[in-house]
Chain A
Amino acid sequence: MVVELFLDLLSQPCRALFIFAKKNNIPFVFKHVELLKGHHHSEEFGKVNVLKKVPALKDGAFTLAESIAILLYLSRKFNTPDHWYPSDLQKRAQVDEYLSWQHATIREKGCKIFITKVLVPLAGQPFSPETLEEAVEELNSALKQFEEKFLQDKPFIVGNEISLADLVAIVELMQPIGVGCDIFEDRPKLSEWRNRVEEAVGKELFQEAHEIILNIKELSNLQIDPQLKEHLAPVLRKMMK
């Protein structure tokens, strides 16, 4: 039975999984769950992930949510090269450390920028420049910690080779890029790290994974499913308060 990955490449964690699976030649079926069409709210998808979020995995009868859990599961099941999740205790701990920290920092703030700039207007809500400014400031703060604590002067987060930490980080940082916030500008260390990560992943694969998010502005007839719009309205209002 081939593993099924339920993905929408608009989503950062989906891109991490897509890149990881392809890079490691892990056979999988790409099950497209179109977020803007509200597919994640379908009854069918609810059977795969009751939390109604992407990414999700289905491996026979076994279903799994949360990209980090899925990345680790795949790395174990398919015995991927050691550098992704090093067997050395301390290096492994450093990957865990980043994966834990990033939830409420890089991921949260990067998401907020995307939501404020794209989702809120799409859902017909008023755009708030103050909220955007705040989100950018918060991301800047997180990026400072990223550089000072996690990257420092190393080529990758855990030393000399790319790991799950770098992969999870880069896909999140590409989200603000896609919506016109060039967070790499004036950050040479971060830019260089990005180039190294792209090389390590393979430029073609990296571009393929990021095609949708990098062309989102061009999708001027971007439409959101009306039921989803309705569902999102109170959620977004609360977020933007």
Chain B
Amino acid sequence: CVCADLAAAAVCCVSDPVLVPALHSAEILHLSGSCCSPIGHHHSEEFGKVNVLKKVPALKDGAFTLAESTAILLYLSRKYNTPDHWYPSDIQKRARVDEYLSWHHTNIRTNAPKTLWIKVLIPLFTGQKLPPEKLQEVMDELAISLKQFEEKFLQDKPFIVGSEISLADLVAIVELMQPVGADCNIFEGWPKLVAWRSQVEEAVRKELFQGAHERILNAQDLRKVQIDPQMKKEMKPLLLKMLK
């Protein structure tokens, strides 16, 4: 979905070749085959029955529907008994994952997506380009979050919770790829983050990682997309507010 909720990519990455068919049959909407292609599809009546909050990702498992990527990731990890490192059973390691997942919402997730909004999406919707100060403001805020990420969550470990990848790393990496898609190389000048990113890509497997990020890494193509005029009208006041 062009509203580019990259949390959708995170759910995709958790699946391995055994899980993917299971996910297909569970009709998980984010999977590219059935992903909403016309922009604004998340506002459709049909999708509203899956998630009344009208956001992606969403899950439908029989009659059970679920929103919020963190909840969906945890649900899948439990239902499909995924390897322990994703959400360790050791209560202190598990607490570290929970700690990151909680902090993430109002720090990395608040700032990183704004880069794509400012550079690509807002101009696409409003026809207006934004002054460079706007982007600089966002980058400065993001830098604060990145510093905390390195100092508190990553430190000198290969992954957030030690020596193996967990849901924390997954949720973090997809969010940080958003600015990269907007041509903001946030990894520049952060060697520890660069090293961590490589580790995460390896752990996820490069091919799957690339596949999940193909759309966002070709965000310039988004500029050519036609937006539903109704949606353009609806979004305009919201976007102008974001700009304030």
Contact = CB atoms under 8 A, between A and B. Distances in A.
B180 to A, nearest CB: 22
Interface in B65-123: 66-72, 74-75, 78-79, 91-92, 94-96, 98-99, 101-103, 105-106, 109-110
Interface residues of A, number: 31
Contacts of B52: 148-149
Interface in A64-110: 64-70, 72-73, 76-77, 89-90, 92-94, 96-97, 99-101, 103-104, 108
10 contacts: A51-B152, A64-B96, A65-B99, A89-B79, A92-B75, A96-B71, A100-B70, A103-B102, A103-B105, A149-B52
Contacts of B235: none
Contact of B70 (A66, A92, A96, A148): A96
Contacts of A70: 95
Nearest to A70: B95
A111 to B, nearest CB: 10
A145 B66 contact: no
Interface of B: 52-53, 64, 66-72, 74-75, 78-79, 91-92, 94-96, 98-99, 101-103, 105-106, 109-110, 148, 151-152, 244
A51 B148 contact: yes
Most buried by B among A65, A67, A96: A96
Contact of A100 (B71, B96, B103, B110): B71
Contacts of B94: 72-73, 76
The 5 closest A-B CB pairs, nearest first, are: A69-B98, A96-B71, A103-B105, A66-B102, A69-B99
Consensus secondary structure, chain B interface: helix
Interface of A: 50-51, 62, 64-70, 72-73, 76-77, 89-90, 92-94, 96-97, 99-101, 103-104, 108, 145, 148-149, 241
Given A104-B106, A104-B110, A68 B98 contact: yes
Nearest to A53: B103
A128 B239 CA distance: 22
Given A89-B78, A96-B75, A100-B68, A145 B53 contact: yes
Contact of A66 (B79, B98, B148, B244): B98
A182 B104 CA distance: 30
B70 A73 contact: no
Contacts of B95: 64, 69-70, 72-73
Contacts of B68: 96-97, 100-101
